[in-house]
Amino acid sequence: MTATSLKHPKHIHETTSLTRLGAEQLTLKHGKTSIIENLNVSLPEGKVTAIVGPNGCGKSTLLNGLSRVHSPSAGVVLLDGKDIHALPSKEVARRLALLPQDTLAPDGITIEELIRFGRHPHQSLLKQWAMDDQQAINYALNAADLEGLKDRLLDTLSGGQRQRAWIAMSIAQETPLLLLDEPTSALDLGHQIEVFELIRHLSRQGKTLAMVVHDLPSACRYSDHIIAMKKGEIITQGSPKEVMTKELVRELYGVECDLIPDPMTGSPILINMKRVRN
């Protein structure tokens, strides 16, 4: 992304210092099974947090809980110190954007039309469309490097472009917080990097981001903070260099490996991996 020189809306900077998202004593259940119990967590501000862990460890459930999609059975999710479920949903949507995994693209929708949906939280029956809506959309198109493609149909784009369009929709929401559920899971390597670089770019603009990521090296490379989960609990968290050890990899995935620092960036790389019994 070459967009570092972009002017960004002032409000992002104004609000980041105030916004906090976290949970206290959070219990999330699917039916009667507890996925997460008594979990305390908070997202460091202005940073990219990666939530990692094996399948079924509850990382997506946590993200759904934090984004008020999944209501807690006990405990509370706090947005700016207030219970997220007590705040009006629209108000939450002006501070917290969510890009879930199960997005659906209607037939024949263009990129710009998709991004327009991001303005819903800022509109009402009486205020349907305003100048600031168009500005936000132009900003989002620019930030996601989609200006030349805005009238293209979503289903004619590459996977990476499509995912960038969805992220652009959340950018247009103009929230200080953005949560992404496996934003790169269906993408090939090039498109993954495309999306991760956009995420880094947004972080430089002052957004607080959290994402569920499957790929450990990418999590290390593109995040500032890692939350490692297993069986609904946070095993460890901290900067990638601090937390990423061969012991952690073994505990999470039952995989033996060696870690070496990336010669270019210094972030840990996994080599020599083999499966072991836990």
Partner 1 sequence: MISWFQTPPSQRPLFRVFVSALLVLALCCFCSLLLGAGGLSPQASFQTLLGNGSLDDQFTVFHLRTTRTLVGVFVGLTLGIAGAMMQSVARNPLAEPGLLGVSAGSSFAVALTLVLGASTATLTVGVAQFGALLGCLCVLGVARMQGQQNDPIRLVLAGAALSSLLFAITSLILLFDQRAADEIRFWVTGSVAGRDIQTLLSVLPSMLMAALCILYVAKPLASLALGERVAIGLGHKPKRIRAVVIVAVALLVGGATAIAGPVAFIGLVVPFAARALVGPDIRRTLWLCLPLGPIIVIAADIVSRLVAQPAEMPLGVLTAIIGAPVLLLIVRSRRMPTL
The Cα–Cα gap between 109 and 57 comes to 35
Nearer Cβ to partner 1 (207/230): 207
The Cα–Cα gap between 57 and 102 comes to 19
Nearer Cβ to partner 1 (155/256): 155
Considering only 8, 59, 68, 230, the residue that binds partner 1 (CB under 8 A) is: 68
Q: How far is the CB of 114 from partner 1 (least distance, A)?
A: 8
Total chain residues near partner 1 (CB under 8 A): 36
Site residues (CB under 8 A) for partner 1, limited to 76-135: 88-94, 96-100, 102-110, 113-114, 117-118, 120-121, 123, 125
The Cα–Cα gap between 171 and 209 comes to 11
Structure tokens at 275: 């499966």
Structure tokens at 79: 């947005």
The answer to whether 143 touches 168, Cβ cutoff 8 Å, is: yes
Edge to edge, what strands does the sheet with 74-79 contain? 33-42, 21-30, 74-79, 82-83
Is 31 among the residues that bind partner 1 (CB under 8 A)? no
Is 153 among the residues that bind partner 1 (CB under 8 A)? yes
Q: E strand or H helix at 217, and its extent?
A: helix 216-222
Fill in the amino acid letter for 228.
A
Nearer Cβ to partner 1 (130/276): 130
Q: Which stretch binds partner 1 (CB under 8 A): 15-23, 60-68, 213-221, 248-256?
A: 60-68
Residue 188: strand, helix, or coil: coil
The Cα–Cα gap between 252 and 57 comes to 9
Is 67 among the residues that bind partner 1 (CB under 8 A)? yes
Nearer Cβ to partner 1 (114/220): 114
Q: How far is the CB of 242 from partner 1 (least distance, A)?
A: 31
Is 69 among the residues that bind partner 1 (CB under 8 A)? yes
Q: How far is the CB of 186 from partner 1 (least distance, A)?
A: 14
CA separation (Å) from 71 to 49, 68, 275?
22, 6, 36
What residues line the site for partner 1 (CB under 8 A)? 64, 67-69, 88-94, 96-100, 102-110, 113-114, 117-118, 120-121, 123, 125, 153, 170, 173
